[in-house]
Amino acid sequence: MAAADSPSAALQRRDLCSRGIRLAGKMRADVVDLLDTYVERQGLDASASVAAVEGVPSAAVERWDEQTGTQRLLENLAAYRAFRALLAQMLEEQREQLGDADAALGRALAAVLLQVSAFAYHLEELLRLESRGIPGEEGAGPPPPPRLSLFEQKLRGLGVLRELAQWAVRSARDLRQLAKPSPAAGSAPGLAESP
């Protein structure tokens, strides 16, 4: 059962949600800028279609409005943890490929990685507030993907950033749903746990 919705818990939740929404907004703006830089520096076509890439969490969701608060938090957390690993990998690849030649792109990637980590932590705080156990991160993580060609790496990076930009919008929407006062009956999707 979710924690009793005491006034202070409700206030804390609202405060965390508001800050989370601002974080998500800033993150999205930075990811959009990073996308422009990435496309330019990597010599890609901005309108290139990228097929769904394995390991990149898709922001697309059906029946979004019917999700419970807990579902939203858990899905968001899983996604940002995955992005944290993916961005770290991209940063590593970028350093290998270009070294110090493109410090600007490296800095932009690192800045977004920091925000993604901060947002993941923020989500953990929200889950803690709901007295929900925070799912552990998989120990060894998934096996490293097969070595991709340079071009494949670049396309993959494009896919990662595009999906992250979608997630940033979705997260702001999710947090707004969470910030809504919980209904007394707890049957409507809010932070009530599904039976």
Partner 1 sequence: DSHVQYERVGADVTMKCGSMDWDAAVTWTANGTDIDESHLNGSYLILKNVDLSQSGQYSCYEGSSWHLKYQTYLRVGTPPKEPVLMCRSNNYPKGFYCSWHLPTPTYIPNSFNISVIHGTKDMVCEKDAIPKNRCHIRYLQLFSTVKYKVTLTVTNALGKNFTTLTFDEFAIVKPDPPESVVAKPVPNNPRRLEVSWQNPSSWPDPESFPLKFFLRYRPLILDQWQHVELSDGTSHTITDAYAGKEYIIQVAAKDNDIGTWSDWSVAVHATPWTEEPKHLTTEAQITETTSASTSSFMAPPTTKICDKGAVVGSGAVAVCWTAGLVVAAYSVLFI
Where do contacts with partner 1 occur on this chain (CB under 8 A)?
25, 28, 49, 58-62, 64-65, 162-163, 166-167, 169-170, 172-173, 176-177, 180
The least CB distance from residue 98 to partner 1, in Å, is: 26
The least CB distance from residue 127 to partner 1, in Å, is: 21
Residue 13 exposure: Cα atoms within 13 Å on the Cβ side: 28
Can you tell me whether residue 49 is helix, strand or coil?
A: coil
CA distance linking residue 31 with residue 12, whole number of Å? 28
The least CB distance from residue 133 to partner 1, in Å, is: 26
- Return the number of the residue (27 or 109) whose C-beta is nearest partner 1: 27
The least CB distance from residue 42 to partner 1, in Å, is: 18
- Return the number of the residue (58 or 97) whose C-beta is nearest partner 1: 58
CA distance linking residue 2 with residue 178, whole number of Å? 13
CA dihedral 10, 11, 14, 18 (to 10 degrees): -170
- Return the number of the residue (95 or 173) whose C-beta is nearest partner 1: 173
**Is the distance from CB of 74 to CB of 135 less than 8 angstroms?**
yes
- Return the number of the residue (53 or 192) whose C-beta is nearest partner 1: 53
**Is the distance from CB of 61 to CB of 170 less than 8 angstroms?**
yes
